[in-house]
């Protein structure tokens, strides 16, 4: 080929090559931007899923506590009746009732339930209801109260009086 044809072909080839190179670079930039967007969406979705999982686990645990507390409250009257029966029983019957009460109390302790309100304790309006008297000390427990995980299952019914010194 002559020099003139080579000179004419080279600028055209260079222009085509520059155009193709620019289009490739533009395509690469678009792909990189698309990858960044998809990566961001993935990270957000993963974070949302993790938050959902944690929230669901917390709700499940909270619901478990509510269900257990509700179930326990249904059995507290049975325990009260056993204690009343033991107070009036004698001999082997009393011993059997005492063992049953102890077993019942152990099961409640295993569930995280504890008694609230005892004779001589300071009156706590969050866990006790005073039915008579004035003062800040529990005189008599009329009905035991119970607390589970810091939440009141049943308030104690008490009479109150002044602190004796």
Structural domain total, the chain = 1
DSSP-derived pairing of the beta strands 156-161 and 137-143: antiparallel
How many CB atoms within 10 Å of residue 139? 17
pLDDT of residue 49: 96
**161: domain range?**
114-165
Alpha-helix runs per DSSP H in the chain: 3-88, 91-110
pLDDT of residue 57: 93
Give the Å distances, CA to CA, from 42 to 45, 84, 112: 5, 63, 41
pLDDT of residue 5: 52
pTM over the 0.95 mark: no
Residue 14 included in any domain: no
pLDDT of residue 33: 93
CATH number where 122 lies: 2.30.22.10
Reading the chain (165 residues) residue by residue, the pLDDT tens digits are 455 555 555 777 777 787 888 888 888 889 999 999 999 999 999 999 999 999 999 999 889 888 999 999 999 999 999 999 999 999 999 999 999 999 999 999 999 999 988 888 899 999 999 999 888 899 999 999 999 988 999 999 999 998 765
Distance between CA atoms of 153 and 112, rounded to whole angstroms? 11
Residue 147 included in any domain: yes
pLDDT of residue 61: 86
Residue 3 included in any domain: no
Residue 61 included in any domain: no
Residue 8 included in any domain: no
Residue 33 included in any domain: no
């Amino acid at each position: 080929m002559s020099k003139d044809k080579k000179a004419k072909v080279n600028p055209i080839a260079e222009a085509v090559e520059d155009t193709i190179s620019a289009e490739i670079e533009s395509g690469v930039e678009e792909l990189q931007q698309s990858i960044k967007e998809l990566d961001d969406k993935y990270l957000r979705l993963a974070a949302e899923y993790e938050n959902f999982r944690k929230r669901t686990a917390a709700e499940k645990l909270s619901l478990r506590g509510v269900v257990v507390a509700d179930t326990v409250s249904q059995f507290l009257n049975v325990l009260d009746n056993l204690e009343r029966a033991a107070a009036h029983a004698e001999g082997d019957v009393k011993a059997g009732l005492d063992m049953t009460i102890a077993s019942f109390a152990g099961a409640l302790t295993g569930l995280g339930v504890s008694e609230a309100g005892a004779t001589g304790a300071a009156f706590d309006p969050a866990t006790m209801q005073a039915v008579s008297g004035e003062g800040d000390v529990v005189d008599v427990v009329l009905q035991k109260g119970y607390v589970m995980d810091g939440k009141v299952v049943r308030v104690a019914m008490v009479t109150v009086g002044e602190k004796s010194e």
